[in-house]
Structure formats: C-alpha cells, structure tokens
C-alpha cells in the first residue's frame, strides 16, 4: 500500500455518500500534498479495485468498500507519525485569505452534536464567543443532509464549523513569516491572565490533534475561564523569527480588526513565554484554540465528535455566531 493509495482511501472514506471520479480525487489529493494527473489517479484506482478496496460505479467513479475501510485503519502505521504537523504545513500553504477584502479560504474545525441539543449547545457557547478565548465569532452551521465544504453532516446531527488556529499560520506565511507550530496545550487562566501551560503535546510525531485529545480527556475548564475569570482553556504555542516581530504585531492588530482575534500573546526575542523556552533568534506566540466553544459544550455533558483542521472554507460565507441566537 503506497502513500498515494492510502490518501485515495482516506478521501473516499471521508466522503461515504459520494461516488468520486479521478478528477475529483486529483483535486482533493492536492490537500494531501500529492499532485497527480487524472490518468495517474486512474492507474492507482485500478490497483485498489483489484485488491477489493474500492468499488467501481461505471464512469462515475469509486466508493470505498468495507475491506478498504479495514485496510485504512491498519495500513502504514508509520505514515500516521507526524500526520498532524504535515497537515498543518499543507493547510497553511493552501490558506489564501485576503484580509483587506476578506475573500479567500480559511481552515475550519468541524464538530458534530445531536440535533436535539442544538439550542442547549448554542446557549452554552454564547459566553465563550463573547470572550477572548475564541479564534473568531464567525461560524458555519449545517444540518442533516447538508455539507460543510465537501463533508456531509451525519443523520440526526448538526455540523458546526469554527475557525481553526492554523489559519493564522497561513496568513503569516502569505506575509512572508514562517511559523513553527510547537505544541498544543491546556493553558491555565487566573484573573483573566494567562499563567502557564498545564499540559502539552508536541505536534511532531502526533497522529491526533492535541486539542482533540484534551477535549476527550476532560482537561479543560472553559466555563470557569469565561464566567469566573479563572479556568483552563485550549491554546497552542508557536515560534516566529525575531526579525519578523514588528510585522507580526502589525498583522495581529489587523486580524483583530477583521474579526480574527486568536493571538493571545507574542513574546520577546530569545525569551521564554509563559515559562516556555524558544529557539535561538525566535520569539514565542500563544494562540487560543479554535475548539474552545466545543470544549465548553463537552463540559456541559453534551457528546460531540470533532475533527480539527477538517476542511478549507470561504471566510466570506461564514456567519456571525450572534445570528444563531
């Protein structure tokens, strides 16, 4: 099983209700950093057909088979190592938001929760979206049968998209500032001030997004941070080149003006930030997690299923959270 064929199976598995042809697969493979012609994609599909991992639907395309799903969970365990950091790099490059016109794509996290819990979830998230602990107040909401990007919402569920913090990596990259994503973590808040990270997972070598892990492990206290000014939020630690600090501060200010307020702190050259050391000629940057609203929903006992860095989405098509109230 090659990485290309594994990527094809991943795409088909992520679109269980769609028959995808070589053209659609070729476009989506670019999201995995694989640039192939339709003819080359068809070559790999024939091999997958022969092995029983995909089913042919005439000229329309393919769908993944149960055998293909099983193979996907078992094949290339080593390929999963470092998957998060490679996806961060890929999506950072593909982010193309123009801050001036607000046109272009940003990165979305997508979460699902039961449709009957929608009003409860919105009420729980309301104070979080009024706090400094969200990336943006712009969201997307879809119901059963609808799609967020090319991802269908499961039956009986609501799909809720929030702006992912990796969007900032992409915006900085387009401005010529390379950002190194170091850790995802749980950040302790005391009297509305960031104090220290109480848990960290490196993006290098992790096959799951660290913030998803912290949500599942019930390690957050978003509600406390919002209501009592003391709690634990999701955040990530990045590093920037020292020479880019002035430009980074300017972009941070512009982001806030455009409704993207995820940058919590930018540190000083060659100095620790929130007790976290930085590399030579670098400065630290702390960004709030885009999944903080979902963590609050989980804290309230509403089960969610979340996939960080799910898809690219047009920023201009998002709606203000207050329109859901």
Task: Specify the residue for token string 């699902």.
Answer: 112
Q: What is the pLDDT of residue 56?
A: 94
Question: For residue 179, what are its two tokens?
Answer: 């950002």
φ/ψ (deg, to 5) at 102? 60, 25
Question: Is the backbone of residue 21 left (phi > 0), alpha (psi -120 to 50) or beta?
Answer: beta
Q: Are 207 and 10 in contact (CB under 8 A)?
A: no
Task: Specify the residue for token string 């960290």.
Answer: 200
pLDDT digits (tens, 9 = 90+) for 110-124: 999 999 999 999 999
Q: Are 112 and 305 in contact (CB under 8 A)?
A: yes
The ranges of the chain with pLDDT < 50 are none
pLDDT digits (tens, 9 = 90+) for 154-212: 899 999 999 999 999 999 999 999 999 999 999 999 999 999 999 999 998 787 899 99
As a whole number of angstroms, the distance between CA 218 and CA 195 comes to 20
Helix (H) or strand (E) holding 295: helix 292-299
Q: What is the pLDDT of residue 51?
A: 94
SS3 for 244-266 is HHHHHHHHHHHHHHCCECCEEEE
Helices (H), 21-117: 22-29, 38-50, 66-74, 77-80, 83-94
Characterize 76-97 residue by residue with b for buried, 16 or more Cβ atoms within 10 angstroms of its Cβ, and e for exposed: eeeeeeeebbebbbbbbeebeb
Q: Which CATH architecture has domain 81-325?
A: 2-Layer Sandwich (3.30)
Domains in the chain: boundaries: 3-79, 81-325
As a whole number of angstroms, the distance between CA 112 and CA 157 comes to 6
Tell me what percent of the chain is helix, strand and coil, each rounded to the nearest 5. Answer: 40, 30, 30
Pick 3-79's CATH classification: 1.10.1040.10, 1.10.10.10, 3.40.50.720, 3.40.50.700.
1.10.10.10
Helical axes 166-174 vs 83-94, angle rounded to 10°: 50
As a whole number of angstroms, the distance between CA 96 and CA 263 comes to 18
- Whether the model clears a pTM of 0.75, i.e. scores above it, the answer is yes
20 DSSP assignment: B
């Amino acid at each position: 099983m090659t990485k290309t064929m594994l990527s094809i199976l991943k795409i088909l598995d992520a679109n269980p209700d769609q028959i995808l042809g070589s053209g659609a697969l070729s476009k989506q493979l670019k999201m995995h950093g694989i640039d192939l012609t339709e003819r080359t994609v068809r070559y790999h599909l024939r091999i997958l057909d022969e092995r029983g991992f995909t089913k042919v639907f005439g000229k329309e395309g393919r769908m993944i088979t149960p055998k293909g799903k099983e193979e996907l969970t078992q094949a290339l365990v080593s390929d999963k190592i470092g998957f998060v950091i490679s996806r961060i790099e890929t999506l950072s490059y593909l982010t193309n938001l123009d801050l001036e016109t607000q046109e272009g794509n940003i990165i979305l996290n997508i979460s699902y929760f039961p449709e009957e819990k929608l009003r409860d979830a919105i009420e729980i998230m309301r104070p979080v979206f009024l706090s400094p602990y969200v990336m943006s107040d712009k969201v997307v909401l879809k119901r059963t049968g609808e799609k967020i990007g090319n991802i269908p919402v499961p039956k009986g569920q609501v799909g809720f998209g929030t702006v992912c913090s990796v969007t900032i990596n992409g915006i900085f990259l387009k401005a010529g500032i390379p950002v190194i994503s170091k850790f995802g973590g749980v950040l302790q808040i005391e009297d509305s001030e960031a104090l220290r990270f109480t848990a960290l997972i490196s993006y290098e070598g992790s096959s799951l997004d660290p913030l998803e892990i912290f949500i599942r492990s019930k390690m957050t206290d978003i509600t406390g941070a919002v209501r009592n000014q003391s709690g634990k939020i999701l955040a990530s630690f990045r590093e920037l080149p020292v020479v880019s600090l002035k430009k980074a501060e300017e972009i941070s200010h512009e982001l806030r003006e455009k409704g993207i307020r995820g940058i919590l702190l930018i540190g000083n050259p060659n100095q620790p930030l929130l007790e976290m050391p930085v590399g030579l000629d670098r400065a630290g940057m702390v960004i709030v997690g885009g999944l903080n609203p979902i963590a609050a929903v989980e804290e309230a006992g509403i089960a969610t299923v979340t996939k960080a860095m799910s898809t690219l989405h047009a920023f201009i098509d998002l709606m203000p959270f207050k329109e859901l109230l």
